[in-house]
Chains A and B, each alone.
Chain A
Amino acid sequence: MTEMNENPLDLLPEVLLAASAVFGLLLGSWLPRARQWLVGMLAVIACVAGIVAASVAAAEPSTTAFGEAFAVDPVTSTSRIVVLGGTLLVLAVSFRPLRGDARESEFYVLVQLASLGALMMAGTQDLLLLAAGYLLASIPAYTLAGFRKDGPGTEAALKYYVVGALLGVLMLAGITVLYAAGRATGYPMLGEAFRDAPKALLAAGAIGLLAGVLFKAGGVPAHFWVPDAVQGSSPPVAALLTTIPKIGALAALFRLGDVVFADSTLPWPALVAVLSAASMTLGNLGAFFQQDTKRLLAYSTISQVGYLLMPVAVAGRSDLAQQALLYYLAAYTVTNLGAFAVVCALPRAHTLDDYRGLAKERPLLAASLVICLLGLVGTPPTAVFLGKLEVFSAALEGGYAWLAVLAAVNTVASLFYYLRWIVPAVSRTGTPGPAEGDRAARYVAYGAAAVSLGLGLAGGPVLDALSGPIIR
């Protein structure tokens, strides 16, 4: 092992977020209820400062912190920017509904802690830190899911927690087995050790590990919590659950595939490819006939994880895999949050039919919805299209042509249910649709749709920035 590098400034975005969370908790207990929004502002400042710090770090050469336990490379930097940017959007849509809530400051603190967990997962180079990141990302999220303390919220939190606890235990068991097989927890050393480790041991460990990470990603077969938790929780929380933890989990999976399992005796790419195929297909099938918008988006996010797993499957086999994954993550985050922002902007609309006539009352909001949903399909020139182009290219280059074909077929299938939502929203007939809603969320929706389009049209520089070497 190289000399210990314990410079906390390498972890500046994470440190800022943690400090802001702790300070916000203290501040919240002193502030009067009408002033609790200050905690939210503090969180916003921490996120913005974190994005700046991450951008500065991204411009510098890759490094590791804390004795190779944490990597600061393009994967981490991109995940930091995307997670913090996503957190900003989540905070923006939650200000209005939480204004004056008895537990307002607690909400902001929990959101920050959940993001911090995702950040840790994205950057970790060590199985034990991965487990810590998992717990940090999960426990605040359980609480957030049940934050409203109503029936569906409680059910959501309970389901989420039970599944999470079970799979978390499996994950810890898997890590133990992998430790036994590789006699280390750091990725670079594990990668060396797994070249000739016993296959059965590796398989058992890897499956346990996958169970936990896939739970955070919301991918098949650890996806059972997604629809209920998303439907039961409030729209801002649902937005958070379907994006932020995924970023960390998929970045972690990519690292595992590229560094740890790439040269191992385990058929890791095939395993991930099968999971990817199952995710996109089952997610789509589940979404087909949903009437509830949040539930539809929940199933859609399961299928999106399938596409995101494609570059993970070819990690190390295709030069395009890394930039494909990171670009798709960024594109998906902004597009999905845009769609959720529309849901947040119309708190009284729950089913697809409630959106009937939206184009007449709020043409800009309807346009944002159409852009975000077509964006999720992958229609050019939105950001996800470019992401899909990269992802398909990576899969074909990595020798997984069947997966690319299946993904194309699934894309068409997904069109069906997104159109079921678009059609009532743009149709003029029927009763006057949803009434007044949340102004801040509306602006977030406009902004996210604009960014989604802009990122698609001007994706060149972004893609360039994503292709730097990963730390091994």
Chain B
Amino acid sequence: MLTALVFAPTAVALLLFVLPRRTTPAFFRGIWVAVSAIELTLVIVMWAGYETGGGMQYEERARWIPSAGVGYHVGVDGLSLPLLALTCLLFLACALYSLRENRRIREFAALFLFLETTCLGLFAALDLILFFVFFDLSIVAMYFVIAGWGHRQAAHAALKFFLYTFIGSLALLLGFIGLYLAASPHTFDMVELARQNPLAGRSVYGGLVLLAVVVGLAVKTPTVPFHTWLPPAHVEAPAAGSAILAGVLLKMGTYGFIRIAMPMLPESWRRYALVLVVVGVVSVLHGALVALAQTDFKRMVAYTSVNHMGYIVLAVGAAAATADSSEQARSLAVTGAVTQMVSHGLLTGALFLLAGVLYERGRTYDMTSYSGVAGAAPVFAAMTGVAAFASLGLPGFSGFIAEFQIFTGSLGPRPVATALSVLGILLTAGLFLRALRQILTGPLRLPDAPGTPRAFPDMRAHENLAVVPLLVLAVVLGVAPRFLLDVIEPASRSVLELLAR
């Protein structure tokens, strides 16, 4: 079932190319939406059948390349299930959002379906090489999305994105090989590696492997100082591409921290966790401060991603401090980190889609060119407002739950770092409020570039269909998060058990 969930989109994507050339664009869009909806249904069915606290479920194994220690092994637990669900939801949102897309829709739909396979496959993978294959293929697919459908500087931004994340992926590969060689018998199987803890007692080797793995994941996350690829990639990508990039692809890095680095390299992780805490705090503050200086709406949202991902890095770093902190606090930090991944995916996905709406109406992201949009487009204004408030961590939204858990969990082990990070919330609150005031309030003023329509039409039906569910879910998670936390908590406890060895 999991295999079907992962590979169905790619199978359909290949079928799209078999269809005759004269097929209408509406047909492709219809298939795209239908497949995404089926995927979401499948993942909901899986969630319904998931036994809370039952460890790894829906496991599937097959021999693949046994002589290289590589096997096909997938499975779902409390860490991956929320992310799988998030992936399916965001891809459906993007499919709905793109119902008006006309540029080479066949290729666009096929690329997104393929991208969906890579994302689902990565979160389901329980073999390091399988993980790596999906990690790299997601880079390739996203490269073509940015380069093929992006804005003016897209080629350059796409290249930068590709080079950065590809360097990261190769560092990751070296780290994986290091783990593989340390295990006996040699294997890439994640469950087996986590059980063996092959680098126990080998501090130098373990440190180097951890360095390679962390650098690879940190580029993807991205944390300071590896974040410079992110703003151009986000700004130049099409709206749906940005939403996936921020909503799903960035999670691959932080997911890797919790899935690979913490359970497989517990000793080294504990030893060097302080570095991660520092990197997390710097990312939080740097991301927020730079976002504050932006006049470009999309670029600003991109930098807040650096800030929000910084919280996650802080939490996973703080969770390693075993001395003088209760187990409950650390578990809270890890749970908060996973919740933050889901929450950030929903909210940033929504924000980027809204940025796409803004661009489609005014052909620019420059905030100073707009003013008083709320009067012309009240629904758009309301949604942007909700997304922004949720993103800055207001109670009642998912972001609050996540950040509250992260801060509560990290405060005990790392008080200074946590106190500094809380400042990040203040800064993001400031910058979102400033952006809202600039765009939404005041007398109506719209960009006056040639070719732009003078009116600012409100949200269209397909745009509503894409954005509203994301925001609704963010509110549901903010008010009644138990159904999510019940799934995450047992998994985060077992990660901490592995970490404490």
Contacts and interface: CB of A to CB of B under 8 A. Distances in A.
A408 interface: yes
A412 B166 contact: yes
Greatest chain B CB density within 10 A among A379, A389, A404, A464 is at A389
A462 to B, nearest CB: 9
Given A419-B162, A463-B65, A389 B136 contact: no
Given A380-B132, A392-B173, A423-B155, A412 B65 contact: no
Given A374-B140, A415-B166, 8 more contacts: A380-B137, A385-B133, A389-B129, A389-B177, A396-B181, A411-B166, A426-B147, A460-B64
- Name the prevailing secondary structure of the B interface residues: helix
Nearest to B139: A379
B171 A460 contact: no
Interface residues of A, number: 32
B180 interface: yes
Given A397-B181, A408-B171, A464 B67 contact: yes
A423 B154 CA distance: 12
B288 to A, nearest CB: 30
Contacts of A423: 147, 155
Contact of B177 (A396, A411, A467): A396
A426 B158 CA distance: 14
Nearest to B69: A393
Contact of A389 (B63, B68, B171): B68
B8 interface: no
Given A396-B178, A408-B173, A426-B144, A460 B65 contact: yes
B174 interface: yes
B398 to A, nearest CB: 34
B67 A463 contact: yes
Nearest to B180: A393
Given A392-B177, A408-B170, A467 B136 contact: no
B68 A463 contact: yes
A412 B66 contact: no
Interface of B: 63-68, 70, 104, 129, 132-133, 136-137, 140, 144, 147-148, 155, 159, 162-163, 166-167, 170-171, 173-174, 177-178, 180-181, 208
A224 interface: no
Nearest to B178: A396
17 contacts: A379-B137, A380-B137, A381-B137, A385-B133, A392-B177, A393-B68, A396-B174, A408-B174, A409-B167, A416-B159, A428-B104, A460-B63, A460-B64, A460-B68, A460-B70, A463-B68, A464-B66
Contacts, number: 79
Interface in A435-472: 459-460, 463-464, 467
A463 B173 CA distance: 19
Given A374-B140, A379-B140, A386 B65 contact: yes
Nearest to B176: A389
Interface of A: 323, 374, 379-381, 385-386, 389-390, 392-393, 396-397, 401, 404-405, 408-409, 411-412, 415-416, 419, 423, 426-428, 459-460, 463-464, 467
Contacts of A389: 68, 129, 173, 177
A400 to B, nearest CB: 12
Contacts of B140: 374, 379
Q: Which of B65, B140, B208: most chain A CB closer than 10 A?
A: B65
B129 A460 contact: no
A374 B180 CA distance: 25
A162 B170 CA distance: 40
A313 to B, nearest CB: 16
Name the residue in A379, A380, A427 with the highest tally of chain B Cβ atoms < 10 Å from its Cβ: A380
Contacts of A390: 68
A458 B63 CA distance: 10
B170 A411 contact: yes
The dominant DSSP class at the A interface is: helix
A409 B170 CA distance: 8
B167 A412 contact: yes
B65 A323 contact: no
A460 B174 contact: no
B74 to A, nearest CB: 15
Contacts of A385: 133, 136
A379 B136 CA distance: 7
A197 B66 CA distance: 41
B174 A405 contact: yes
B220 to A, nearest CB: 14
Contacts of B104: 428
A304 B206 CA distance: 30
Given A386-B65, A393-B177, A380 B133 contact: yes
The listed residue with most A CB atoms (<10 A of its CB), out of B64, B104, B170, B178, is: B170
Contact of B163 (A386, A415, A428, A459): A415
A397 B184 CA distance: 13
A419 B66 contact: no
A415 B162 contact: yes
Contacts of A415: 162-163, 166
Contact of B67 (A381, A408, A467): A467
Contacts of A379: 136-137, 140
Nearest to A408: B170
A408 B148 CA distance: 27
Contacts of B167: 409, 412
B181 A412 contact: no
A460 B66 contact: yes
For the complex of A and B, list the 8 residue pairs with the smallest distance between their C-beta atoms, beginning with the closest. Answer: A408-B170, A380-B133, A460-B65, A463-B67, A412-B167, A464-B67, A393-B177, A380-B136
B65 A459 contact: yes
A416 B163 contact: yes
A390 B70 CA distance: 11
A367 B174 CA distance: 29
A7 B10 CA distance: 53
B233 to A, nearest CB: 15
Contacts of A392: 173-174, 177
Contacts of A419: 159, 162
Contacts of B163: 412, 415-416
Contacts of B67: 323, 460, 463-464, 467
B105 to A, nearest CB: 13
Contacts of B208: 401
Contacts of B63: 460
B148 A426 contact: yes
Nearest to B168: A412
